[in-house]
Amino acid sequence: MDIDNRELVARAKDGDRQAFDKLVKENKDKMFALTLRMTGDREAALDLTQDSFLTAYKEIGSFRGEAGFSSWLYRIASNKALNYLKRKKILSFIPLTEKTSDSVSYEMPEYVDGELLNKELALAVNSLPPKQKLVFNLRFYEQLPFGEIAAILNKSESTVKTNYQKAIEKLRKKLEGFR
> DSSP letter at 138?
I
* 35: three-class secondary structure by DSSP: helix
Does residue 104 bind other proteins (CB under 8 A)?
no
Name the segment binding other proteins (CB under 8 A); options: 6-14, 73-81, 89-97, 120-128. Answer: 120-128
**For residues 112 and 80, what is the distance between their CA atoms, to the nearest angstrom?**
25
Considering the rule CB under 8 A, would residue 130 count as an interface residue with other proteins?
Answer: no
User: What's the Cα-to-Cα distance from 3 to each of 34, 117, 173, rounded to whole Å?
Assistant: 25, 44, 44
Q: Give the Cα separation of 136 and 130 in Å (integer).
A: 10
Map residues 18-57 to x or -, x wherever contact with other proteins holds by CB under 8 A. Answer: ---x--x---xx--xx--xx----x---x--xx--xx--x
Residue 128 DSSP code:
S
Stretch of residues binding other proteins (CB under 8 A), selected from 72-80, 83-91, 94-102, 140-148: 140-148
Using rule CB under 8 A, residue 11 touches other proteins: no
Tell me whether residue 54 or residue 92 sits nearer to other proteins (CB atom).
54
Q: Residue 15 in 3-state DSSP?
A: coil
Q: Quick one: how far is CA 3 from the chain centroid?
A: 26
Question: In whole angstroms, how close is the CB of 7 to other proteins at the nearest point?
Answer: 21
Closest by alpha carbon to 124, among 40, 42, 48, 43? Answer: 40
**Per CB under 8 A, 63 contacts other proteins:** no
Which amino acid type is present at position 12? Answer: A
CB of 101 to other proteins, least distance (A): 27
Contacts to other proteins by CB under 8 A: 17, 21, 24, 28-29, 32-33, 36-37, 42, 46, 49-50, 53-54, 57-58, 109-113, 117-118, 121-122, 125, 139-140, 143, 146, 161, 164-165, 168-169, 171-172, 175-176
